[in-house]
């Protein structure tokens, strides 16, 4: 593996870490730095929004306000590099706390199409793929 490939992989890993941190801290300014201005984001497999970055941020803001805590674990990255473009498939595990004692868990994959920009790697397309949910109904039951 040459130095460019190693550097690209580190930058891509950092991008996905920044993504998880932005969502979990609800830092929508940071979240926007993960994507290109014309990015398409699709969370519909888990009942979430799809659309442009701004449309998704507008929808996610009140949705994530339902939770007192979230924590995204992103791992097992498969990276396909092709010059200034890349594809990434990464597993996620996400515990989400509705209120103390009420939480659920979900897992799946993030599928990104990335492009190298002047500001580094950015996602121009994200499609979330759901694998499973656990304790969802119980987390929202009274």
Q: Where are the beta strands (DSSP E) in the chain?
A: 35-42, 50-51, 69-70, 73-82, 85-99, 102-117, 120-134
Q: Which domains can be identified in the chain, with CATH numbers?
A: 3-140 (3.10.450.50)
User: According to the model, what pLDDT value does residue 31 have?
Assistant: 98
Per-residue pLDDT of the chain (142 residues; tens, 9 = 90+): 899 999 999 999 999 999 999 999 999 999 999 999 999 999 999 899 999 999 999 999 999 999 999 999 999 999 999 999 999 999 999 999 999 999 999 999 999 999 999 999 999 999 999 999 999 999 999 7
Contacts of 75 (CB under 8 A, 6+ apart): 90, 91, 92, 93
User: According to the model, what pLDDT value does residue 142 have?
Assistant: 79
Give me the residues paired with residue 81 across strands. 86
CA distance 51 to 136: 25
């Amino acid at each position: 593996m040459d130095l460019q490939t190693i550097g690209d992989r580190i930058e891509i890993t950092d991008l996905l870490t920044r993504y998880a941190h932005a969502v979990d801290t609800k830092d929508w300014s940071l979240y926007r730095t993960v994507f290109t201005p014309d990015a398409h984001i699709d969370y519909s497999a888990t009942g979430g929004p799809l659309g442009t970055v701004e449309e998704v941020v507008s929808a996610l803001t009140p949705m994530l306000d339902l939770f007192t805590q979230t924590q995204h674990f992103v791992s097992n990255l498969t990276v396909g590099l092709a010059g200034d473009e890349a594809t990434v498939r990464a597993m996620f595990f996400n515990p989400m706390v509705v209120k103390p004692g009420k939480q659920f868990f979900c897992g799946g994959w993030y599928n990104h199409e990335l492009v190298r920009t002047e500001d580094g790697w950015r996602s121009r397309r994200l499609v979330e793929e759901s694998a499973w949910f656990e304790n969802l109904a119980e987390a929202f039951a009274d």
